[in-house]
Chains A and B, each alone.
Chain A
Amino acid sequence: MPTAQDALSKSPEVLVVGLARTGDRDAFAELVRRRQSWIRTLMRRCCGDITLADDLAQQVFLQAWRDIAKLRQPKSYGTWLRRLAINVWRQHLRTRDALRDADEHDDSHYGVQHKAGIAMDLNHALAKLSDTARLCVVLSYHEGMSHGEIARFVKLPVGTVKSHIRRGSERLQQLLSAYQETQPEESI
């Protein structure tokens, strides 16, 4: 006999979102289950730190739980969640200590991260970019958003976004090539 969770897992997302909006805990858990991998990966690309990324992803879902009743169109749940994620990330940037963060992004963990494979190399390389450039690059390459969409999202002119993405991509490629040269078996 199928359980409620089975039924939810087979239901279309719009329906599950509709249930979650009424405060249904199981429906919201199903939404977390469906989107957690995406949001956690997005946060990892943004911050480069697995633990912090998971904490931020958790904050995103808690924010979603608080505000889901305000979501007018269940079909735009994905876009809405992405917006929450970016806002949580930007809020984190605003509140963190810039000097301490500069220390965190030194190369002391490079050896450990390098062994963890392509994803870690990419996260490490992304961490070398400025916050805005990283966000633009991640939204463009990871999220597949157009320059116009990113500009609206981050509230910057399209030209500035393009420039961030172009320069960020060049820098990222240099960094990834350097990693590839130092450890050729883990190719990008």
Chain B
Amino acid sequence: MNGDDLNPGLQAAFANARQDMAGEAFTTRVMTQTDKLKRRKIIRRLCVGALFALLAVPMQDIAMATTHVLVLSLIEIDDSLLAQILAPVNTVGSLLSFVLLGLRLFYKRIFS
């Protein structure tokens, strides 16, 4: 018990009201629920695994196609040195980056 000032009458009331409850039925109920949880967890993991297995190939194809598009040059430059210098900004990817950056700045200016 704690050392704080407590009402002795109420302390007695709480002590008298304590009852030891038979718990086998309750325990069985809880364990049935835990088994359900366990099963659900396994099923969820299997589903996630199956989803990855199913989508892995198409996702890889999409990623490769996207990568291919992003490195395409916007303007064809004949001079190889100039083409190399401008390569970081002369791609679909860089154009997309600039557009996204511009949108972000625009959004910040409007809403903040």
Contacts and interface: CB of A to CB of B under 8 A. Distances in A.
Interface of B: 1-4, 6-7, 9-14, 16-21, 23-24, 26-27, 29-31, 33-35, 37
Given A25-B34, A65-B34, A188-B9, A58 B29 contact: yes
Interface stretch (A10-18, A76-84, A91-99, A143-151): A143-151
A118 to B, nearest CB: 5
Contacts of B18: 41
A173 B13 CA distance: 10
Contacts of B10: 141, 169, 172-173, 176
Contacts of A25: 31, 34-35
Interface residues of A, number: 35
A165 B10 CA distance: 12
Which 8 A-B pairs give the minimum distances between C-beta atoms? A36-B23, A146-B2, A119-B17, A141-B14, A37-B21, A144-B1, A122-B17, A61-B30
Given A37-B21, A141-B14, A62 B6 contact: no
Nearest to B20: A37
Nearest to A149: B2
Interface of A: 25, 28-29, 32-33, 36-37, 40-41, 54, 57-58, 61-62, 65-66, 118-119, 121-122, 140-142, 144-147, 149, 162, 165, 169, 172-173, 176, 188
